[in-house]
Amino acid sequence: MNRKVPPGLAGIPNLGPVTAHDLGRLGIHDRPSLAKADAQRLYDRLARLDGRRHDPCVLDTFHAIVDFANGGPARPWWHYSRIRLAQNQARKRRAP
């Protein structure tokens, strides 16, 4: 498999050929489209498209690249993993 990042998405940290391919399948081919996207919705749509739930790190990567496309700093995807895990813990503490 010899996939490449399309020019419209080139240079985005955390975005490699496989993620670019997945984004293309979701109709995202350039930064303006990525900036308008919602990471959770992209993740959910990808799961429906493939008929399976993907690793949560895919969600974290989507958060990283959408944030960057919206002018956020280049952060590694695992920065968003920490946020996701903290939010999950907070939800568990609030649950009855």
pLDDT in tens, 64-78: 999 999 999 999 999
Q: Which residue has the tokens 């790190």?
A: 57
Predicted pLDDT of residue 95: 78
Rounded-to-integer distance, Cα 43 and Cα 21, Å: 14
pLDDT in tens, 19-49: 999 999 999 999 999 999 999 999 999 999 9
Question: Angle, nearest 10°, between helix axes 56-69 and 77-94?
Answer: 120
Higher pLDDT, 16 or 96: 16
Q: Which domains does the chain have, with CATH numbers?
A: 7-94 (1.10.150)
**Does 1 score more than 60 pLDDT?**
no
- pTM, 2 dp: 0.91
